[in-house]
Chains A and B, each alone.
Chain A
């Protein structure tokens, strides 16, 4: 391999060999599908030559072009983070070639704590955070044309935070947290503060610098996107969810307001402490970041659906 694409930048020959990059080249003729929406995942495609279109299916048997990718870019990262089905189709729009990072090769490395695999996971999470921000900008543009549904936003100030206390008692039964042991809970407790807040509490405002991640333990946190026509509900986070991850990873200001849609309890996880977990250097760090990655992919998949709905709404208004 000559110049490394951004996803693989800085990896040495040993890491590339472990990941099996040179063993898994792909070639696609113009019009060939690399994968189709709804298929089980098989890995990431890294484009060396050519261009690939990302296409989503829409109600009524239509298609919409989501984006276009070229040399050095990669497609299909979501699948390495959540191992879910493909959320869009990828079709070559000229003859293409490149490398495949297969799930079969990657997953055991990530499970074993391989440093190169965790560097790639961190890069993919940042990529997802950036795509989340880009999609939110696309949604905001549609909202400014009146395509959304305005929501009343809570404006109560948050009560003071207290020590985390017994986090396990509130969180251990929710997926992802159910594999934490006593040492994991102790580690998480040192990073967290607890807030019990009534419905209507504004936890964070769009435009704020990201300082904390919100782990929802009880009740519901709503994320809304402000526009000239009001606040559009984007996400609703129930118990066991993380709210506000993307800005913690890309380090850019929040775009979304976070308020308590229902009375509940949230744990504020310190942003600086979270940064130290990103490379997955302990099993605790890997568990936390895996959950963060899963949440980010769920959020991005949901954003794509919201964008599609608002595009149709905007289309019907023209």
Chain B
């Protein structure tokens, strides 16, 4: 299993998001609150800020080092401010059969596309499904799949399900529709292959202007024999919102009211105190529009059902 974090909103220090809170993403390498596994197989991030060159494209940084012990990450994080971020810690089963390499690190990104993806979960028996997906992946995307992992192929599949040019901007609704199509394809292949094992697909998809957070599991509760690596609960996904994410009154929190322009979404809250965090419902997606003004006509945040 993995841990991930997405942010969109007012400009904030990268270390405020990734390092400083008492249960921040880098603490979750070894001490996640809602997952009884270590996340040692590397990390990565995609960051956007208006002060960067080509601000519509993300800064991408990935390393097979263990995030909490990587001084380069700490150094970068203290100097960078971001207005959007998708970050990911990779965790893998403790069985020695999964490769630790840079190609398998999230967020996945196709050259020229502003859209990136991070995945928390795993598709059981993916090796049996992989080549069934080929028929659903666009020929111009297929050669660029970075790794043999389920996450890399899910990214390619979702891009392939988008209408239009993957290099251009796409609406949140179009991204949601593509994700739903991709999940339906995966469900169909699992069904044809007789794969019924519980398989989590929590996703963060973003292009720096908007963020889609998916909380979904195929065949939840259909576990194989114990021990159940990663636990028996529906894989968690939480969010919080406000005007600014900052240290105030002795704690890290969103301030300025819940109608504010900033949204933080993560596999689990970044603070031990979860009182001001909200769960994304199971089988649902949180859509965050970074450009919306928060009015009823253009809400910044909304929940959509995933009845797949």
Q: Which residues of A contact B (CB under 8 A)?
A: 37-38, 56-62, 149-152, 173-175, 216, 218-220, 233, 236, 238-240, 261-264, 302, 305-306, 308-309, 312-313, 315-318
Residues of B within 8 A of A61 (CB): 242, 248, 253-257, 276
| Docked pose: A57 CA to B253 CA in angstroms | 11
Q: Is A238's CB under 8 angstroms from B233's CB?
A: yes
| Docked pose: A175 CA to B253 CA in angstroms | 32
Q: Is B305's CB under 8 angstroms from A149's CB?
A: yes
User: Can you list 12 A-B contacts (CB < 8 A)?
Assistant: A37-B273, A59-B239, A60-B259, A62-B257, A219-B221, A220-B220, A238-B233, A261-B220, A261-B283, A263-B196, A309-B278, A316-B259
A198 to chain B, nearest CB (A): 12
For A240, the closest partner residue in chain B by CB is B232
Q: Is A238's CB under 8 angstroms from B220's CB?
A: yes
A79 to chain B, nearest CB (A): 15
List of 3 A-B pairs having minimum Cβ-Cβ separation, nearest first = A60-B258, A60-B242, A220-B221
Q: Is B258's CB under 8 angstroms from A62's CB?
A: yes
Q: Is B93 an interface residue (CB 8 A)?
A: no
Residues of B within 8 A of A150 (CB): 305
Residues of B within 8 A of A151 (CB): 283, 305, 307
Tell me the chain B residues, 224-245 only, with Cβ under 8 Å from chain A: 225-226, 228, 232-234, 239-243
| Other 15 A-B pairs with CB < 8 A, given A151-B283, A262-B221 | A37-B275, A56-B275, A57-B275, A59-B240, A59-B242, A59-B276, A60-B243, A149-B304, A220-B221, A220-B234, A238-B221, A238-B233, A239-B221, A239-B223, A263-B222
Q: Is B278's CB under 8 angstroms from A60's CB?
A: no
Which of B233, B248, B304 has most A Cβ within 10 Å?
B233
Q: Is A216's CB under 8 angstroms from B232's CB?
A: no
B225 to chain A, nearest CB (A): 8
| Docked pose: A318 CA to B223 CA in angstroms | 43
Residues of A within 8 A of B305 (CB): 149-151, 233
Q: Is A59's CB under 8 angstroms from B241's CB?
A: yes
Q: Is A58's CB under 8 angstroms from B258's CB?
A: yes
| Docked pose: A219 CA to B284 CA in angstroms | 18
Q: Is B254's CB under 8 angstroms from A59's CB?
A: yes
Residues of A within 8 A of B196 (CB): 263
Q: Is B221's CB under 8 angstroms from A60's CB?
A: no
Q: Is A238's CB under 8 angstroms from B232's CB?
A: yes
A300 to chain B, nearest CB (A): 14
Q: Is A149's CB under 8 angstroms from B278's CB?
A: no
| Docked pose: A318 CA to B294 CA in angstroms | 11
Residues of B within 8 A of A312 (CB): 258
Residues of B within 8 A of A218 (CB): 221-223
Residues of B within 8 A of A313 (CB): 302-303
Q: Is B7 an interface residue (CB 8 A)?
A: no
For A87, the closest partner residue in chain B by CB is B275
Partner of A173, one of B226, B273, B283: B226
| Docked pose: A294 CA to B283 CA in angstroms | 24
Q: Is B31 an interface residue (CB 8 A)?
A: no
A39 to chain B, nearest CB (A): 10
Residues of A within 8 A of B276 (CB): 57-61
Interface string of B267-308 (1 = CB under 8 A from A): 000000111111101111000000000101001001111010
Which of A37, A236, A240, A306 has most B Cβ within 10 Å?
A236
